[in-house]
Chain A
Amino acid sequence: MHRGRYANFVEHKPGDWSHQTPISEKDPEGFAKVEGRFVERFLEGIPLALGYTEVAYTRRKTETPIEPSRGLLPAFRITERLRRAVRREVAEPKVTVLPNFEVHVESLFFPARTEAQLRPLGELVQRGIVTVFKLTKPKVAAALAAQSDQNAIETLKALSGRELPPNVEHELRDWAGHSEKFILYEGFGVLEGTREAAGTSRFVVETISPSFALVHSAEALYRHLEAAEQVPLRIRHADNALAAPAHVRSRIAPTAAPPSAPVKRPVKVKRSLRTTLWFADGEAHAAFCQLLLDAKCVLAADRRALTVSYPPQAEPQVKECLRKLKENYTLAVEDIES
């Protein structure tokens, strides 16, 4: 049993897990083998992901490849971001709203909070030290529909710390006007007529007019009205008559999954086309076959049926051989119905 400080560490050749070499504490390179690997793995982990370091890899192959790899990351350097983080110079993101509806967020550090505020209002266009969002009408309208107290103009003013470009403010106000909120009631009914029967009010969800009301539990209401001898008339509408209008940008009601198209089983049919020449003369057939062989063109020839069959790609060679055959025979090629 291997013991010591590095007891848990082994090396092996790539792919060869059955022959693992333990690293001894007494190995002069033991420190480099274990701690060195730790440093390499560390540098290409969190500091790199946070943008605190940049690492340089070497292409140099070790003489005997060994795993886990070692010595392939010979250099690294710290970035401006780390320097500022160490000095605690983490500035607030600088937000600028441009007249072309772009919002630039300048920050050396990932501007998580600012981004969370801007994402509902625009599309992310570019990421880097400056993250760029583009304000769009559908996003702004949808954000306002989902959260009526959302005020895009105030949010942007607060983030940027200054007035917005006039055209942007104008458009945002306009877009806000387009974000009327519609509530889609599903499974509800409309009660038409004077509500003379007692007890109908408990079914009413929303009074539309004195003679119109939105009601829940339409079945129960119908039974209630029949029992009250009101002779109710029930009209059922097909679901598709109540479909949401086209181009609805957002909705609060859950959306049913669209019916999936029946799955068709794929069947592959292969097809090949071949041309067959039927010879009436055995000698000409043999001469033709010889010409084909001379031209190093191997085709299916049937000496009994006096035929030669070939695929379309052999057409030029066949034509050439037929041309040569014409030097000795009077040849007429006639197409026949298959």
Chain B
Amino acid sequence: MLAPDPHNPLIVQSDHSILVEVDNPRYGEARDRLVRFAELVKSPEHIHTYRLTPLSIWNACAAGVSATAIIEALGGLAKYPVPEHVVVSVRDFAGRYGHLQMTRDARGLVLSANDLPLAEEIARQKAVAPFLRERIEPRRFLVDPEDRGRLKQALIRIGFPAEDLAGYTAGEDFPIELRPLTREGHPFALRRYQDEAARTFHASGTERGGSGVIVLPCGGGKTIVGMGCMALVKSSTLILVTSVTAARQWIEELLDKTTIPADAIGEYSGSVKEVRPVTLATYQIMTHRSSQDAEFTHLNLFDQRNWGLIIYDEVHLLPAPVFQITATLQARRRLGLTATLVREDGREEDVFALIGPKKVDIPWKEMEAEGWIAKARCTEIRLPMTEARRFDYAVAPARQKFRIASENPGKLDVVRRLLERHAGTPALIIGMYVGQIQKLAEELNIPILTGGTPQRKRDEIYAEFKAGRLRQLVVSKIANFSVDLPDAAVAIQISGTFGSRQEEAQRLGRVLRPKPGENQAHFYSLVSRDTVEQDFALKRQLFLCEQGYQYAIWNLDNPNGTMPAGQFVGDTLPK
């Protein structure tokens, strides 16, 4: 290992966390190397934190990075000696990957251990033994193809991930090509990183590729990468998405940018049940059942065609029943797309075992620096409540305080002034309480979308917004996921739960698509000062700062008062 150098950017702590100095000249090199074997935990200004975990090491091993390469990277970039036990852990974690391999031969699906003691150990593990059908050789076990996923899950839980080299069924052939010109006549080609991501996933069709997760920031073009993978696999494809709106936007994109004819694309949702060579289904319909004890009747969609590729959009939201069925679909190519591997339920291991290892992870800030996504400015505007409302707030039960603060009527004037400031720029106003956003929409005469808006109406409004005929839109929580609003440059959040990291990322993602001109997006949050809403907003502040975004706070003495000059140069608002 190289000797540590005090001019290096990296400090490896004893608890397996890695701190990286952003201002160091070798930061770029450190980031590019760390992303291959460590998980980025937070990236606030000045110092970024990564963490080494068994899963991050196994992901690296799956991508061909060896323990020696990891240790050399750490030693070569470290400011102080790398703790000895961290080096031992890296060797230990990496040493476990690849000791078990799943292959296919004339006898069927075979799990092989590279030595006898390991074979003995797994044979005696209670969690693993039920999935080993027969010991055909001292180091080899026959496995039922149905148990391929469950066995991988069990092995990862005991700390011995299996390398799955058993290959895939070809699936039904279906020619898919990307158009050089979109249907609307615009030139189209995959961006460099999108092309690389698709090729990394496909791995020239070998068994070393074909299953895994691609992590791209919101606005990075996950749908396009998905289409790139489809064009490489050239097989019938099942695409699972989070909502009907998302399904329809996928369909639009497929029609616009690929050669797939309209009659070859099917929608499988609550209202339509089409199964075609390319089918889009929602997680909701897949997990629908008539009662709590009934079976999931729509899960048989997985068997209704010989799918060659299954795409899981927003894989961090994959519901448990779909995980279960995915465990039995290990012979099909599987692609997970997401902006974050963090699952609120902590089932990241299942994503690794059942969908596949992380294949590509491009940090948000890197894409921002390259201009592929917009630069975001986050501003929290704190405004007071009227004295009467403060009394209501003071005497309200704890559970109602948040709502009273969130629905502060003073926010209306601030929204109006922000919209004036960004006149002509596409803007979304996002709120949690339907009554509040309805009133705001009426006052400002802006169309509104809520959960109760019929799908046809939603599609119309989205189309107007995308065409630029509509510049402002009020939306409820429905816009959190997979709503492709390419031209939104301003988001004003007037109320929210602020509890979920995913929700914040997704809301910010609404404005991150690249913009013409200065490529600048604005994310405003309006909160009532000295209330619980401000406390909740602190969580969002932490999250966004840890994602590396600039965060400014403005205090208003009253909703109509002068907006103070912000911490961003030139940020003054009209009176």
Q: Evaluate contact between A128 and B13: CB separation under 8 angstroms.
A: yes
Contacts of B552 in A (CB 8 A): 166-167
Which of B17, B80, B546 meets A100, CB within 8 Å? B546
Q: Using a Cβ cutoff of 8 Å, how many contacts connect chains A and B?
A: 58
Known contacts A100-B542, A100-B546, A130-B19; is A166 also within 8 Å of B13 by CB? no
A-binding segment of B42-50, B287-295, B337-345, B418-426: B42-50
Nearest CB of chain A from residue B316's CB, rounded to whole Å: 22
Q: Evaluate contact between A100 and B44: CB separation under 8 angstroms.
A: yes
Q: How far is the CA of A170 from the CA of B47 in the complex (A)?
A: 20
Main secondary structure of the interface of B (DSSP, over half): mixed
Known contacts A79-B81, A80-B81, A171-B553; is A126 also within 8 Å of B17 by CB? yes
Q: Evaluate contact between A165 and B4: CB separation under 8 angstroms.
A: no
Q: How far is the CA of A294 from the CA of B4 in the complex (A)?
A: 76
A-facing residues in B7-42 (Cβ within 8 Å): 11, 13-15, 17, 19, 42
Contacts of B567 in A (CB 8 A): 166-167
Convert A32-66 into 0s and 1s, putting 1 for each residue whose CB lies closer than 8 angstroms to a CB of B.
Answer: 00000000000000000000001000000000000
Which of A80, A98, A130, A167 meets B46, CB within 8 Å? A98
Q: Evaluate contact between A80 and B11: CB separation under 8 angstroms.
A: no
Convert A65-109 into 0s and 1s, putting 1 for each residue whose CB lies closer than 8 angstroms to a CB of B.
Answer: 000000000000001100000000000000010111110101010
CB of B538 within 8 Å of the partner chain = yes
Q: Evaluate contact between B538 and A171: CB separation under 8 angstroms.
A: yes
Q: Evaluate contact between B541 and A167: CB separation under 8 angstroms.
A: yes
Q: How far is the CA of A221 from the CA of B222 in the complex (A)?
A: 80
Highest count of chain B CB atoms <10 Å: which of A108, A126, A128, A167: A167
CB of B551 within 8 Å of the partner chain = yes
Q: Evaluate contact between A129 and B551: CB separation under 8 angstroms.
A: no
Nearest CB of chain B from residue A110's CB, rounded to whole Å: 14
Q: Evaluate contact between B45 and A99: CB separation under 8 angstroms.
A: yes
CB of B545 within 8 Å of the partner chain = yes
Contacts of B555 in A (CB 8 A): 170
Q: How far is the CA of A231 from the CA of B542 in the complex (A)?
A: 62
> Number of residues in B with C-beta < 8 Å to the partner?
25
Q: Evaluate contact between A99 and B545: CB separation under 8 angstroms.
A: yes
Contacts of A170 in B (CB 8 A): 553, 555
Q: Evaluate contact between A130 and B11: CB separation under 8 angstroms.
A: yes
Q: Evaluate contact between B545 and A100: CB separation under 8 angstroms.
A: yes
Contacts of A128 in B (CB 8 A): 11, 13-15
Contacts of B387 in A (CB 8 A): none
B-facing residues in A244-274 (Cβ within 8 Å): none
Nearest CB of chain B from residue A134's CB, rounded to whole Å: 9
Contacts of B14 in A (CB 8 A): 128
Convert B530-551 into 0s and 1s, putting 1 for each residue whose CB lies closer than 8 angstroms to a CB of A.
Answer: 0000000010011001100001
Q: Evaluate contact between B80 and A80: CB separation under 8 angstroms.
A: yes
CB of B105 within 8 Å of the partner chain = no
Contacts of B13 in A (CB 8 A): 126, 128-130
Contacts of A129 in B (CB 8 A): 11, 13, 80
Q: How far is the CA of A180 from the CA of B44 in the complex (A)?
A: 31
Q: How far is the CA of A108 from the CA of B78 in the complex (A)?
A: 14
Q: How far is the CA of A206 from the CA of B46 in the complex (A)?
A: 51
CB of B84 within 8 Å of the partner chain = yes
Nearest CB of chain A from residue B204's CB, rounded to whole Å: 42
B-facing residues in A166-224 (Cβ within 8 Å): 166-167, 170-171
Q: How far is the CA of A336 from the CA of B76 in the complex (A)?
A: 83
Q: How far is the CA of A170 from the CA of B379 in the complex (A)?
A: 13
Q: Evaluate contact between B551 and A99: CB separation under 8 angstroms.
A: yes
Nearest CB of chain A from residue B22's CB, rounded to whole Å: 10
A-facing residues in B299-321 (Cβ within 8 Å): none
Contacts of B47 in A (CB 8 A): 96, 98, 104
A-facing residues in B377-416 (Cβ within 8 Å): none
Q: Evaluate contact between B4 and A54: CB separation under 8 angstroms.
A: no
Q: How far is the CA of A171 from the CA of B567 in the complex (A)?
A: 14
Known contacts A80-B80, A99-B45, A171-B538; is A166 also within 8 Å of B11 by CB? no
A-facing residues in B82-106 (Cβ within 8 Å): 84
Which of B46, B80, B81, B553 meets A96, CB within 8 Å? B46
Q: How far is the CA of A106 from the CA of B538 in the complex (A)?
A: 26
Nearest CB of chain A from residue B486's CB, rounded to whole Å: 29
A-facing residues in B548-565 (Cβ within 8 Å): 551-553, 555
Contacts of A54 in B (CB 8 A): 84
Q: Evaluate contact between B11 and A106: CB separation under 8 angstroms.
A: yes
Q: Evaluate contact between A167 and B84: CB separation under 8 angstroms.
A: no
Contacts of A100 in B (CB 8 A): 42, 44, 542, 545-546
Q: How far is the CA of A166 from the CA of B44 in the complex (A)?
A: 13
Q: How far is the CA of A128 from the CA of B78 in the complex (A)?
A: 14
Residue of B nearest to A106 (CB): B11
Q: How far is the CA of A130 from the CA of B103 in the complex (A)?
A: 45
Highest count of chain B CB atoms <10 Å: which of A99, A104, A106, A137: A99
Contacts of A98 in B (CB 8 A): 44-47, 545
Q: Evaluate contact between B15 and A126: CB separation under 8 angstroms.
A: yes
Nearest CB of chain B from residue A83's CB, rounded to whole Å: 10
Residue of A nearest to B568 (CB): A166
Nearest CB of chain B from residue A178's CB, rounded to whole Å: 8
Residue of A nearest to B23 (CB): A96
Q: How far is the CA of A130 from the CA of B20 in the complex (A)?
A: 11
Nearest CB of chain B from residue A139's CB, rounded to whole Å: 14
Which of B45, B538, B546 meets A165, CB within 8 Å? B45
Contacts of B45 in A (CB 8 A): 98-99, 165
Nearest CB of chain A from residue B296's CB, rounded to whole Å: 35
Q: How far is the CA of A79 from the CA of B542 in the complex (A)?
A: 36
Q: How far is the CA of A167 from the CA of B525 in the complex (A)?
A: 14
Nearest CB of chain B from residue A316's CB, rounded to whole Å: 24
Residue of A nearest to B43 (CB): A100
Q: Evaluate contact between A108 and B545: CB separation under 8 angstroms.
A: no
Q: Evaluate contact between A102 and B44: CB separation under 8 angstroms.
A: yes
Q: How far is the CA of A99 from the CA of B538 in the complex (A)?
A: 11
Q: How far is the CA of A150 from the CA of B507 in the complex (A)?
A: 39
Contacts of B11 in A (CB 8 A): 106, 128-130
Contacts of A80 in B (CB 8 A): 4, 80-81
Residue of B nearest to A166 (CB): B567
Which 9 pairs between the two chains have the least Cβ-Cβ distance? Answer: A128-B13, A166-B567, A99-B545, A100-B545, A100-B44, A170-B553, A98-B44, A167-B551, A100-B546
**11 A-B pairs whose Cβ atoms sit less than 8 Å apart in the complex:** A80-B81, A98-B45, A98-B46, A99-B545, A100-B44, A104-B47, A106-B11, A126-B17, A128-B15, A167-B551, A171-B538
Given contacts A54-B84, A80-B81, A102-B44, 15 further A-B contacts (CB under 8 A): A80-B4, A96-B46, A96-B47, A98-B47, A99-B551, A100-B545, A104-B19, A106-B11, A108-B80, A128-B14, A129-B11, A129-B80, A166-B553, A167-B545, A167-B567
Q: Show the binding face of A for B, using Cβ within 8 Å.
A: 54, 79-80, 96, 98-102, 104, 106, 108, 126, 128-130, 137, 165-167, 170-171
